[in-house]
Amino acid sequence: MHCKYCGHALPLKGIVCPNCGKTISKEELQEQKQNELKEWDYYSNQNTAKYKSEQHNENYRKAYLFIILAICIFILIAVLKMLV
């Protein structure tokens, strides 16, 4: 955890920043801990099957969009050639 005033690392059980001397409330410390846990969960879960499945699905969505776009362009070109 880091001091929100100066950015210095805080001791694990301290509520006073050793660098700037500002007092950090216990609520702020708890909030920082929860935020750090959320970040840790996000990065630690990147190797799970669920995360990889979501990434895989996202790649398929992009591929489908590209194919649909290519087909639409092809049809548009064909229609324009028929009109000319």
For residues 48-53, average pLDDT:
66
> Under a CB-based contact definition with an 8 Å cutoff, are residues 18 and 8 in contact?
yes
Q: pLDDT tens digits for 4-50?
A: 788 888 777 767 888 888 888 888 877 877 777 676 666 666 666 66
- Mean pLDDT score of the chain: 80
* pTM of the model as a whole: 0.37
What gap in Å lies between CA 72 and CA 80, rounded to an integer? 12
